Structure 1
Amino acid sequence: MIPGGGNMQQIMKQVQKMQKNVAKAQEEIAKMTVEGTAGGGTVKVVVTGDRRVTAVTLAPEVVDPEDIEMLQDLIVAAISDGMKKAEELAEAEMKKVLPGGLPSFPGLF
Structure 2
Amino acid sequence: MKLKEKKISKMSIAFYIVAGLLFVSFLLTIYNVSTYIMQLLDSGQVTLTDSWLEVILYYVNNTAVFLGLSVLVFGCGYIIQLLKQKNVQKQESLEAEELIEKVNQDEEKSTEDEEAVKEEVLSE
TM over 0.5: no
Structure 2 length-normalised TM:
0.36
Larger radius of gyration: 2
Tell me which of the two structures has the higher relative contact order, counting C-alpha pairs closer than 8 angstroms and 6 or more residues apart: 2
Higher helix share: 2
Bigger strand share: 1
**TM-score (norm: length of structure 1):** 0.40
